Amino acid sequence: MRIIHHLEEAQLSQPSHLTIGAFDGVHRGHRHLIGAMTRAAHEAGRAAVALTFDPHPGVVLGRTPVAALSTLEERAALIEALGVDLLVILRFTPAMAGTPAAHFVEKLRRHLKMVELWVGPDFALGHRREGNVDFLRRLGAEEGFTVHVVEPLRWRGEVVSSTRIRAALTAGDIEEANGCLGRPYHLAGTVVHGRGLGRQLGFPTANLEPPPGRLIPANGVYAALAQTEREGIWPAVVNIGVRPTIAANHLTVEAHLLDFDGDLYDQQLGLDFIARLRDEMAFPSLNALVDQIRRDIEQARQVLASHEVDRAHRD
């Protein structure tokens, strides 16, 4: 898959099928749409093109702050896995938001050789979102391109959306978030030095520093799979919160890798959240905290073993 940042760089040799969206998290609904577009394009001998934006349009337009479900690099990798030939990443600016819909479509036609546009029923582009499906279909009839509307994917009776996933993660509902994503929620970052209290208690932790703007699940304790740079994948217990027992008062993401003994400082560490074990709690003593950590570890082992069995059956 090629990645470009300006439409003029496309230089396609054949017509294209195109889909457009923020695609944050590249959840099951996104994959449903992108997959349908890609299959149709390749069957017709055309290029499959996805166009996305950075930063998220909601951030630029000043709506409710949008915490990201994925980094731009993660988004690109997930889209590439769907067979897309060309990914266009446009910088979203107030000027772009003010572009008339017809003018923007003309640029898509000229630079991407777009002959089919694949969107969801609520899709709109251009100034004040004037370029909705009805507008685009009328324009397509005049200009010679087709608009395909793909009905949204539903999970447990409700439409899958990035907003739904953010709400689930903010509430600590990992099952809901993972069900909509179609995979475990992934959070990666650099391992930084902490206070070393976990090691003193017998449970060394890797303190994760995620990229700015990433969505951190609700405070609590989770079972996760930790992906290290050099040591493979390890079962883990992850604590997110302010560590009330020791009055830390600032948010931390700490992962205790079960049965792991090594140095992860300054390395990248990825966490796949499998299940929420409990809320964050304040304990009357460090001994009480240690007892609870032992129970958390045992519960995490059981949860992760069950997850591996379920995954083996699905595979």
Domains assigned to the chain = 2-158 (3.40.50.620), 184-314 (2.40.30.30)
What is the value of pTM for the model shown? 0.92
pLDDT at 249 over 70: no
Whole-number Å distance between alpha carbons of 243 and 300:
19
Residues 6+ apart with CB under 8 A from 23: 30, 34, 50, 52, 75, 79
Q: How confident is the model at residue 119 (pLDDT cuts 50, 70, 90)?
A: very high
Nearest to residue 241, comparing CAs of 279, 284, 188?
279
Angle made by CA atoms 48, 17, 113, in degrees to the nearest 5: 105
Return the sign of the alpha-carbon dihedral for residues 190, 193, 198, 201.
Answer: positive
Average pLDDT (137-162) is 97
pLDDT at 315 over 70: no
Q: Is 234 exposed, middle or buried (0-12, 13-18, 19+ CB in 10 A)?
A: buried
Whole-number Å distance between alpha carbons of 50 and 78:
12
- Residues linked to residue 188 through DSSP beta bridges, in sequence order: 270
Backbone angles phi, psi at 97, to 5 degrees: -60, -30
pLDDT of residue 57: 86
pLDDT of residue 308: 78
Per-residue pLDDT of 251-294, as tens digits, reads 899 999 999 988 899 999 999 999 999 999 989 998 999 999 99
Backbone angles phi, psi at 217, to 5 degrees: -55, 165
Average pLDDT of the residues of the chain: 93
87 within 8 A of 52, measured Cβ to Cβ: yes
Whole-number Å distance between alpha carbons of 286 and 292:
10
Angle made by CA atoms 293, 294, 295, in degrees to the nearest 5: 90
pLDDT of residue 141: 98
